[in-house]
Amino acid sequence: MRYISSQTERAVRFVGLSTALANAHDLADWLGVEDIGLFNFKPSVRPVPLEVHIQASGYPGKFYCPRMNSMNKPTYAAICTHSPTKPVLIFVSSRRQTRLTALDLIQFAASDEHPRQFLRMPEEALQMILSQVSDQNLRHTLQFGIGLHHAGLNDKDRSLTEELFANNKIQVLVCTSTLAWGVNLPAHLVIIKGTEYYDGKAKRYVDFPITDILQMMGRAGRPQYDQHGKAVILVHEPKKSFYKKFLYEPFPVESSLREQLHEHINAEIVSGTICHKEDALHYLTWTYLFRRLMVNPAYYGLEDPEPHTVSSYLSSLVQDTFEDLEDSGCIKINGDSVEPLMLGSIASQYYLKYLTVSMFGSNIGPYTSLEVFLHILSGASEYDELPVRHNESWQLQRKEIDLIHSSYGQVDKGSATAALAMLHKKEV
């Protein structure tokens, strides 16, 4: 936008907001914000002061599920100690953990002879609400004043849970980390039960980014209701020192443009901003990547920030990107100039990755059958991180069984089910 502004000589105003970071001046310089427009707010200016407790002992053991289970009793103790009557948000890493955590809290409350201590509505109102809930686990936990919130719930159940918590009809809401970013539901106490989540791509448990932890903690303390908020972080023992040291010490923000450069360059070629290799190089000098290359070259694989080294790096980056886009059928290179092709325009118009439109262009023809078309469509990398909703996997398998049965009438559904089970076992 600043590059286009320089070409059109029309000023653009930028307003940027961020969580804690160490290199605010780098970002301000990139956005064209001068010192007079840069404001750095310390935690002390928070409207509701935040009191943070990192569980002192930590939790041993290398196995994730037993470790999460061992945190349930301290979670209940934290509620009783820090917020026995006020709203509590508990962040966990998965849908399964929302259910397991809620069930254990119900059990601990029952052991204290107060099984419904988290419920804030009469029985008649409760029964009316339960009749509207379709998820069986949510229906059970709501009877004890504990709500569940995750992407697997349908919209009606999720909205109902949010409304009950916001109106103090239930005291406790167990949710996944997505709630921290998407919904405005503050609480007096926030408990972060574990700081790891399962990364399906890496096939292992990885740490939440510090920004996510800060965002979860930021839900503690309700303006106009609380004098102060509280956050309790239950952390794996080896990482206890890390969180104590770095929770309020901001990290520098680096650029992620390299991983998405093909899509950006293609979009600029389609819009006419980039017509030559020199345009692409000029475009890159306006990016945050260029500024961080000069400051932290090692992060991006450079030995030093000397001008000739950076220039050579950027030139190679542009050349490789152009060649990849040409091989994928998105652009055409004529000497030093470039022009967009139909696939490139489609990718830019619909925000598709260049490899996705290349796959479509190579495999979809005028006589492609619907089955093959759906197979190609499902291979798009845009769907890689799209999770299957709760209880949907069996429904999808049933549709596969019906499809096999309808395609091969002589195969009974029992045989189709057995064949499908063998197929899934083989894939695993």
Please write the tens of the pLDDT for every residue from 187-228: 999 999 988 888 777 778 888 888 788 888 888 988 888 888
* pLDDT tens-digit map of 56-79: 555 666 778 888 888 999 999 999
Least confident of 159-173, 323-337, 364-378: 364-378
Higher-pLDDT residue of 264 and 113 is 264
Confidence bin at 416 (pLDDT 50/70/90): low
Q: Which two tokens stand for residue 387?
A: 């999770």
Q: Which residues contact 34 (CB under 8 A, 6 or more apart)?
A: 28
Contact 192, 213 (CB under 8 A): yes
* pLDDT at res. 40: 82
Q: Across residues 175-190, what is the average pLDDT? A: 83
Residue 25 predicted with pLDDT over 70: yes
* pLDDT at res. 21: 76
The residue whose two tokens read 């950006």 is 264
* pLDDT at res. 427: 41
* pLDDT at res. 337: 92
CA distance 420 to 401: 7
Confidence bin at 86 (pLDDT 50/70/90): very high
Q: Which domains does the chain have, with CATH numbers?
A: 1-40 (no CATH), 49-246 (3.40.50.300), 254-363 (1.10.10.10), 392-428 (no CATH)
* pLDDT tens-digit map of 147-156: 999 988 999 9
- The share of the chain scoring above pLDDT 70, in percent, equals 88
* pLDDT at res. 66: 85
Q: Which residues are 344's β-sheet partners?
A: none
Residue 428 predicted with pLDDT over 50: no
Q: Across residues 152-170, what is the average pLDDT? A: 93
Residue 115 predicted with pLDDT over 80: yes
Confidence bin at 349 (pLDDT 50/70/90): very high
Burial string for 72-95 (b: 16+ CB within 10 Å, else e) reads bebbbebbeebbeebbbbbbbbbb
